[in-house]
Structure 1
Amino acid sequence: MSSLLRDAENRKIIHGIKIGRHVNPISHLFFANDSLLFVRASKEEVEGVLEILSTYEVASGQKLNMDKSEVSFSRNIEQERKNMLQMKLSFKAVERHEKYLGLPTYIGSSKKQVFHNIQDRVWKKLKGWKGNFLSQAGREVLIKSIAHAIPTYAMHCFSIPNSILNGIEKMCRQFFWGQKGEERKLCWVAWEKLYVSKKEGGLGFRNMKIFNEALLAKQAWCILSNEDSFVARVLKGKYFPHTTLMEAKIQANASYTWRSIMGAREVLAKGVRKAVGNGSTVHNWKDPWIPNLPNFRTLEAWFSSVEVNEICNIPIPMFDRKDSWVWHYTKDGNYSVRSAYNLLTVEQKNDTASNSTTVSKVDWSMVWDAELPPKVKFFSWRAMKNAVAARYSLAKRAMPIDTTCPMCGNDVESALHMLIKCEEAKRIWRNAWVFDGRKKDASETIHKAVGMVGDYESALENSTLSSNPQQFESQWKPPVEGVIKINSDAATFGSNQVGLGAVMRDRVGDVVASTCLCLKGNYEVDVVEALAMRHALAISLESGFNRVCLKTDCLKLHHHLKKKTAPATAFGLIVHDILKLALQCQEYSSFVKRGGNRVAHELAKISSSFTELRVWMEEVPLGISDFVIVDLNALID
């Protein structure tokens, strides 16, 4: 159908909609099972569309569903022509398509009214759950997996009004603390403190506003990093035809979707930078391109010593590769909502840190990583947060109550006293005594608790799946006949230097070549490992070895070589070079543990002893031969 429509458009039978002077006309958009067609409101073009649909039906064997088909007209079409065209099409006429794929197609002045249905959907979900039968651990799971997920789809495209997001968070808060209807329940910990991750003492609930910004910034990233995509070409042609996304201004007639995306552009600016390939599109003084500098830009009209240092740490590719945009806060350079959300929450926490007088020194992993039922871990968290119904805690919240411990009567009932210091608590802590006035023998409760622990451990044992971890070489093994095995490794030195080492051996374990090189720079470990592999493969090709087996003890490098993927990062630039070099030879790569890579590692370590590149043919330098002999002896054993 797409080909038929394009052909009709080329032959001027139909004319698509033109949304800007720099945007080509759009005649159709296809989404899953739906098709949107745009033509002029004329008899000839409608007949052209009907002919195309008829041809498609005959060719495909599919039939157009007339009951689900609709037509809408622009406002300047007279009613008589609308009626005539509708009769030809036999489609249902609508004023506008209210929603498409669950999202509004038209947004007026009242944003709250448009998005209020999202809040209603969350409320219906929360209302339908029987909170009385759920522990707080269960409520946490439902909030994170369902209540927080409902608005996500709309958040990808629109900036949701704060009143709607606040309303959703209020409903989640009430559900979490067990509040129903108009009743009021104590919120023992401020909701804002629950945004913090579990390892920092919170519960990892989403800050909906920040999450909305991170999702919208993903759309901006897609436009920036993939300029050839259809949506990027359309939006660029309409809103910023003569500049870049990062420099574009918001026009007065911009759609709400575009305003939402542009509002999140500030998020993108916090972590996006250019990865230098051939350098042809990098503006030295204007673009963000220097890693580890504030805003990734130079601050003066000349380079300082610090800036020179950082620039020298950018690896130079051997082969031509275009400059590209990367997201600084992920390993692969691709923007992720999680990394942007974490970046924004850290910034917010730093902004409010001056107002906080307490710093948590608790190792919360001891709570959350314990092999205990979730509700037990939740109670432990509440106790450590002073969020249990101890009398002292209730009195602090303006409740008129005697703070004396009802069990021992000797001290104020704080959370610490109630659970640990009280003499009765040392025997066992009992809710029944406080709330029901019943006192049971401690041995009875202990026996019940031991039984529950046994049941839980049995359940854990039954649910544990047997795993078969992948086996890797832990000692050096010879290659097949006619193949040279290349082991490469890297070492880092404290004096802003890194070392590269490699050894090449044949079927019987004889060394055919070895090399080492010391470079100035402060690179990340994975980049240095890739540099070592690139150096080893280049030396191998120069020496005439083109049937090779590459071995590395860097699992990340192994995975990228195996999948033949090179991300737009410093690491990816070097991987790209390795893949280019590999085209010149017959090769395969695999991972080896450190024990099978010892010779290359020792070569990398001694590289700092030399001032220039060193290559040894059919031998290794003094002191390394012992490690070669160890590898050979291991084969005999």
Structure 2
Amino acid sequence: MGFDGRWVNLVMHCVSSVKYSFIINGRRKELHGAKASRSGPAISRLLFANDSLLFARATRHECKVIVDLLNKYEVASGQKINYEKSVVSFSRGFGELFLEKYLECAKALVKEGLIWWIGNGTNVNIWLNSWVADEEGRFITSTAVEGLNHVSEFVNFSKMEWDEALISSIFNERDKKPLSMRASRDELTWLFLMMASPKVRHFFWRAYTSTLPTKKVLQSRHLIEFAECPWCGLEEELTAHALFGCVRVCELWVESGCSAAIQQRRESMCDTLVRWGQIRAKVKQRAAFLAWVICTKRNNKVFASTCTPNEILLARVHRLVEDFGLYSKKIYAVAPRRPKASSSKWVAPPAGKVKLNSDASLSDEGWDGLGVVARDHNGTVRRIRAWCPLEIAEGKALLLAVKLAQQYGYEDVILESDSLVLINRFSKALVFYFDCVLDDLLSLSSLFKSFLWSHVKRDDNYVAHHLAKLMSFAPEQVWVNHCPTVISPYVLSDTLSL
């Protein structure tokens, strides 16, 4: 076109060394988009025949811009956005920050749900850590004693038993717990469990992290102007108010029998969920489904202006609990074997095997008696202080039987007890955080060449039963190839029944 070369170079230099922004229809560019490369253009949208992709920064402002655009599209086109088929995705960097943020929020709940399983007690503070658990809580209730800090200071490591004299002088009856005999390392165990479907557990996670879209949450994000409860209109709709506090839902908690699960005054959601760990499992399960149903009812009220009677809601909770039980049984349960009938009389073991019968007794003086008999070779009786329920004492009798079988070199063992609860749990390996005795029992049973266990009726466990009641002055007695005079009639009776 005849321009001087210097002029052309000057113009091209200006074009290639600056950046320009354009105002389109009176608006600046508000979505920054994404780049495929550093020098490439920023793409804010990709439009296909059936799909549209929008790219933006993860900021409140740009998210609001997208929402405004979608709303205007609906008004202009008469079409409705299907949010159930829409997806929000984040870049890897933002996802890591998001996860880190909510893990930090969840730290308190995780911490509140942990309890120490005592192995050797060296890592557990007696007074500050949670290592006992019952309806009274997870911490020691006895008065703290200066100079005693770790649980290991109460342990006699040569026998892996508690220092009975020291414990008696310091702990109350509630704080005396069984101890693992293996001196394994202390472990943290999760205490809080919820028997509910994944969507209900996810719902509670959102409730705990305050991400349920209640009106107060939406107002704090500048998405709505008013935050009054859609039911009562008396208070702002916080998560606690929507699920527990509104007069419209309070009667549901009472009518469902879940009043114990209602959030207490000045109690955080974290405190509520931790407290739920102390109520009965069935009530906790029903309360979990009820809270989810209440939230669903609230959404129907807000978005569809519908109201469901309490009778229907309670029936829905009952059905959800029942359906979850059937689902869990179908998916997780092992096909049950037909239970073997308990023996009506004592049966001798096959050739080459040893049968151990064990039992426990509690005396009024506060002693546990543990009785074990191995036919036809020996019997033993031992007494210890009864710091535990009868079920734990029965477990200790089983453990004593296995230890003695190992001590005398038996390889093929049959273990019998009249405690059906323990035999069932032992058969299914159902060991919980407080079952140190059963955990030791499972561990030791793997050392034998063969190991079988079965339930026997009390009338056919008389030898072990009366051995357990035999209170001698010695802390432990063993009879080899004979037995105490008072036990002889029961041994003879079993022999004659063969």
Bigger relative contact order (CA 8 A; separation at least 6):
2
Q: Scaled by the length of structure 1, what TM-score is found?
A: 0.37
Q: Scaled by the length of structure 2, what TM-score is found?
A: 0.47
